[in-house]
Amino acid sequence: MSDFNQNINASETYAPTPELSAKAHVKSMEEYQRMYKASIEDAESFWGEMAKQFHWQTPFEKVGPEFNFDRSKGPVSVKWFQGGKTNLSYNCLDRNVQEGNGDKPAMYHEGNDVDDVHASFTYSQLLVKVCQLANALKEEGVKKGDRVSVYLPMVAELPSAMLACARLGAVHSVVFGGFSAESLAGRIIDAQSSVVITADGVMRGAKPVQLKAITDKACELTSQGGFEVRRVVCVARLKGTARGDQAKHSWAEGRDVWYSDFVGKQAETCECEWMDSEDPLFMLYTSGSTGKPKGVLHTTGGYMLSSFATMKYTFDYHPEDVYFCTADCGWITGHSYVTYGPMLNAATQVLFEGVPTYPEVDRFWKVCEKYKVSIFYTAPTAIRSLMKSGDEPVTRNDLSSLRLLGSVGEPINPEAWKWYHRVVGGGRCAIADTYWQTETGSHLITPLVGAMTCKPGSASLPFFGVEPAILDENGKEQEGECSGRLVLKRPMPSMMRTVYGDHQRFEETYFSQFNGYYFTGDGCKRDKDGYYWLTGRMDDVINVSGHRIGTAEVESALVAHSKVAEAAVVGFPHDIKGEGIWCYITLNEGVAYDDALKAELKKQVREVIGAFAQPDEIHWAPGLPKTRSGKIMRRVLRKLALPDFETQDLGDTSTLADPSVVEVLKSYHPRKK
């Protein structure tokens, strides 16, 4: 962020309002500091006490953590709540019903089309729905440890499917509905899931997304790869509605079954499988700097505690709150802050299927007004894009119910923070800028808004149980005001345990750079008050609209095109998306570069990865800047993708095998047009 140094030194701060502090679970800095200290120095009592409110079929013997981050001392491992047996589905549903929350609304479904309410459920109703699906899956042969792939839009069946899997001890692998057939197939094969739950389609704004047709294609691809999907369960999302004619798909007799037939007359109760604290709960694929996306594996007991605690304290959740998180369950935010965190707190939430700009740019605010939302959680990219439409679409709605706003997925620039605060929050709502990752499962650094003064652009201070450090390039811990690489010295309860099926990759990805530490991959500064300021990824991962994309993934999608010889992909600053995708491509001998090919290459990436990974720019590169040993000099490519590329200091280019390629790239620069 160009104004970064100016921000970090800015004196602009936002103290908690007295109303917020008075009501908050944590009311002051002193209280936060005391609780934080206890969470680090006496994790046993801190988390052990909190865990008591949940149902443990067998009590845990030890809270932990028992862990090893030092590869020289043996395999990296993390264990919490050992000896305990519990079940997330039970704690999200049965426990709430038993505690008198059975008639409390668990979710209001807000469809893509205004007034198209697919279904809303109380906790009792949701429990029945989940039990019936769990029974159907059981009849299908799904048992503890089996993997189930879920490729659904934001309908009640999505969190239900997650909870039904959790009930049986099956490991859910939710794949975001924006991924392509090829991506879905890769994830099905990696997880070896013989059951896939999908929908006939869904409207996103004015456009249909053919989820079933994409699933059909994915099954064809897995089949070619030697893996057969045995059962496809299909939710009739469009069929039978006014949009029924939009769903276009085939039907494989014997394999495909409609959700309603699948669940049929299943019993309304279903015994839980009691899971060890360290039994897997779910896997979720995420991109890194190398290779194919990896299945981040989360387990039971620790994940339950962290998702519960962060929901309660970060969002200062109270039983009367109405909560609305705009994230899709296809991402970690939807796992921890749509499905598990809110339900472990018996919260009432809005499940939103649509997009922020349909039918108009005030859709989020209309939803907030309609349900009297008090806690709203979204991504900076959405805030930036809505900010472009001005204040009126926000202020024409009654947002007086809002009291807390959250941000997630990427750094929020102070300008967007202040607009969010002033216009959406009416100057009275606190903002929790939550920094975390798929791998950590829950918030790492975030303000506790009743206790802390916020600084726009800073995620503030570590959450309970999180012990961050900032290292210099030699791995030395820095003190006080500093900048460097953000690492963790210990695991919080929801830390990932492994990469599914590849523990070595887990160790190499996160623990090989700095022995004894988990490396987040992020750069970070700490200011004089101890506040953390995230500065972005330090690896070859681009954060596009809060979605993590590995440059290597885009490169491999591009070189799979018959006309492409080589590709190099970098991120560049983008006003709305945070970062955009810039692709340098070298073509095969004799292939001409034109607009048609450019469009074809964008389509290629859409088809291989998904629409959200579509390149912003294709830059024809007759040659790429390489060192004599053949390594692409990415720092040069990053600078050449900047708006002021002509005046950029490219640094030392004397080691380039052919320094003239830089001038050639400048002469074919897309920004020149």
Per rule CB under 6 A, count of chain residues that contact ligand PRX: 21
Q: Which of 217, 537, 619, 626 binds ligand PRX (CB under 6 A)?
A: 537
Contact between 218 and ligand PRX per CB under 6 A: no
| Contacts (CB under 6 A) with ligand PRX, residues 316-335 | 332-333
Q: What's the gap between Cα 378 and its chain centre? A: 11
Q: In the set 411, 491, 493, 571, which binds ligand PRX (CB under 6 A)? A: 411
Strands (E) in 420-576, as ranges, are 430-434, 468-471, 482-488, 498-499, 518-526, 532-537, 541-544, 547-550, 564-574
Nearer to ligand PRX, 273 or 433 (CB): 433
Is the Cβ of residue 299 or residue 545 nearer to ligand PRX in the bound state? Answer: 545
**Does residue 410 belong to the site contacting ligand PRX (CB under 6 A)?**
yes
Tell me the Cα Rg of the chain. 24
Residue 401 contacts ligand PRX per CB under 6 A: no
* 658 is a catalytic site residue: no
**534 lies in the site for ligand PRX, by CB under 6 A:** yes
- SS3 string, 80-106, reads CCECCEECHHHHHHHHHHHHHHCCCEE
At its nearest, how many Å lie between ligand PRX and the CB of residue 425?
17
434 binds ligand PRX per the rule CB under 6 A: yes
**CA–CA dist 459, 530 (Å, integer):** 11
Q: Does 548 bind ligand PRX (CB under 6 A)?
A: yes
User: Is residue 314 a contact point for ligand PRX (CB under 6 A)?
Assistant: no
Q: Quick one: 21 or 407, whose CB is closer to ligand PRX?
A: 407
Using DSSP's 3-state secondary structure scheme, residue 543 falls into strand
Binding piece for ligand PRX, criterion CB under 6 A, among 76-84, 223-231, 264-272, 430-438: 430-438
* Count, residues in the chain: 673
Q: How far from the centroid of its chain's Cα atoms is residue 193's Cα?
A: 22
- Give Cβ neighbours of residue 612 (< 8 Å, ≥ 6 apart): 178, 544, 545, 547, 549
Find the binder of ligand PRX among 521, 571, 610, 625 (CB under 6 A): 521
- Looking at 362, 539, 616, 644, which residue is catalytic? 539
The strand pair at 85-86 and 275-276 is best described as antiparallel
Q: How far is the CB of 543 from ligand PRX (least distance, A)?
A: 5
**Residue 21 near ligand PRX by CB under 6 A:** no
Helices 43-51 and 301-314: crossing angle in degrees, nearest 10, is: 90
Determine, following the binding rule CB under 6 A, whether residue 286 of this chain makes contact with ligand PRX.
yes
Taking alpha carbons only, the member of 300, 306, 297, 298 closest to residue 82 is 300
Q: Using the rule CB under 6 A, give the single segment among 114-122, 260-268, 368-376, 516-524 that binds ligand PRX.
A: 516-524
Question: By CB under 6 A, which span of 126-134, 396-404, 432-440, 644-652 interacts with ligand PRX?
Answer: 432-440
User: Of 32, 435, 506, 584, which lies in the binding site for ligand PRX, with binding defined by CB under 6 A?
Assistant: 435
459 binds ligand PRX (CB under 6 A): yes
Q: With binding defined as CB under 6 A, does residue 540 bind ligand PRX?
A: no
User: How far apart are CB 409 and ligand PRX at their closest, in Å?
Assistant: 5
* Cα–Cα distance for residue pair 551/581, rounded to 1 Å: 8
Span of 54-62, 269-277, 515-523, 596-604 interacting with ligand PRX by CB under 6 A: 515-523
**Contact residue for ligand PRX among 543, 545, 551, 604 (CB under 6 A):** 543
Residue 392: both structure tokens together: 């009126």
59 preceded by a cis bond (ω within 30 of 0): no
Residue 193's Cβ-side half-sphere holds a number of Cα atoms within 13 Å equal to 32
Q: How far is the CB of 438 from ligand PRX (least distance, A)?
A: 3
Q: Rule CB under 6 A: say whether 112 interacts with ligand PRX.
A: no
Q: Is 485 in the site for ligand PRX (CB under 6 A)?
A: no
Task: Using the minimum distance from each CB to ligand PRX, give the nearer residue, 453 or 535.
Answer: 535
Q: Residue for token digits 């094969």?
A: 189
Output b/e per residue, 368-392; b: 16+ Cβ within 10 A: bbebebbbbbbbbbbbbbbbeeeee
Binding segment toward ligand PRX, per CB under 6 A, in 253-261, 349-357, 433-441, 627-635: 433-441
| Residue 298 touches ligand PRX, criterion: CB under 6 A | no
Cα–Cα dist 458/434, whole Å: 9
Residue nearest to ligand PRX (CB): 438
Q: What DSSP element (H or E) covers 182?
A: helix 181-191
CB 348 within 8 Å of CB 323: yes
CB atoms within 10 A of CB 240: 10
Per rule CB under 6 A, is residue 436 in the interface with ligand PRX? yes
Least CB distance to ligand PRX at residue 407 (A):
6
User: How many helices, marked H, and strands, marked E, lie in the chain?
Assistant: 23, 30
The binding site for ligand PRX (CB under 6 A) comprises 286, 332-333, 408-411, 433-438, 459, 520-522, 534, 537, 543, 548
- The catalytic site residues sit at 539
